[in-house]
Chains A and B, each alone.
Chain A
Amino acid sequence: MAKRSQNTAFRSELARAAAVLALSSALGFTVNALSAHPVSIFAGDASGKPAGAADAPRIPRISIADLIAATKRNDLILVVDVRGEAEFAIGHIPGSLHAPIETILQGQQDVIGTLQAAEKSGAMIVTLCDSELCEKSDQAAEALSKLGYKNVRVLQGGYQAYFDAHAPIEEGVNR
């Protein structure tokens, strides 16, 4: 009798847990649907933007293989990493400039100074973010193009693809 009562109680807890899960999930979907920038589950591109959303012309890409080859040839390249500080510190392409998107959009002096020097020397500027799902590298590249920078590319696949290619990385934050 006691065991039966225990089983009933546990089934009640399971039912409550299922109800909490269902209601909180429904809340999540509702908030997402009402959001100004909803995440689309099925339709749209890899970033989850809803289908039919206007796409600005994309900046040309450079593949990981082409970047590595260009680096080996000692071509003039400035890699601009727009990820957050903690992500940059965990690992980044050696010699890359850490410039979160806000520093470019707000015209932070030291960042713009480095970019202008690179442009003057004829270097290719390559922006990168986490992966293809992240739009910040495109946003940074578009901002730079609008500012008149000529040779701007976005790294295809982002840092994750670079890491997966077992290419050399650096850790820490360069000051």
Chain B
Amino acid sequence: MCYAGYIKARDPAKFVEDIEHYKLLPLFLVRATAIVLPWNEIIVGLLLILGIWTRAAALLSLLLFIVFAGAVTSAIARKLNITCGCFGSETAARVGLQTLGIDAAGLILALIAFVTSRPAKSRKARWS
């Protein structure tokens, strides 16, 4: 997740094109997403690696993979001949069942991380 975010953060103009290919959002939202999404991925990935706020990070990771899987499913259904945009243009893969499989795997891992991580303690429990 950190690597995917880093690759996208390196070339936001290219990421704008990749998101626009999905034809799901108006252009200003495409650009805003291209600006923030890579950093969402990087920070969530770092939190998971470092074990900080793991449950919250896993929840966000789950949300991200649901969004990715939804976008890929939509592209497959509309038979769009586009690259995934998952890891930049160097390792570009056509949107298809393989990319959906990768998103599904990420989703399952995020779900496992969420279920197995410790819930946040309430303020009362922390001080008792």
Contact = CB atoms under 8 A, between A and B. Distances in A.
Interface of A: 5-6, 8-10, 12-14, 16-17, 19-21, 23-25, 27-29, 31-32, 35, 37, 39-42, 46-48, 83-84, 86-87, 90-91, 130-131, 133-135, 160, 163, 169
Given A39-B34, A131-B21, A28 B81 contact: no
B90 A17 contact: no
Interface in B38-84: 38-40, 42-44, 47, 53, 55-57, 59-60, 63, 81-83
Contact of B17 (A13, A86, A134): A134
Contacts of A24: 36, 39-40, 42-44
Interface string B7-48: 001001100110011000001100110111111101110010
Contacts of A29: 35-36
Contacts of B39: 24-25, 27-28, 31
Nearest to A49: B13
Contacts of B31: 39-41, 48
A86 B63 CA distance: 28
A20 B89 contact: no
A20 B28 contact: no
A27 B92 contact: no
Contacts of A32: 12, 35
Contacts of B81: 90-91, 163, 169
A130 B21 contact: yes
Nearest to A83: B89
24 contacts: A5-B125, A8-B122, A9-B120, A12-B120, A16-B53, A17-B57, A19-B56, A25-B40, A28-B35, A29-B35, A39-B12, A47-B16, A48-B31, A86-B89, A87-B83, A87-B89, A90-B94, A131-B20, A131-B21, A133-B20, A134-B17, A160-B82, A163-B81, A169-B81
B16 A13 contact: no
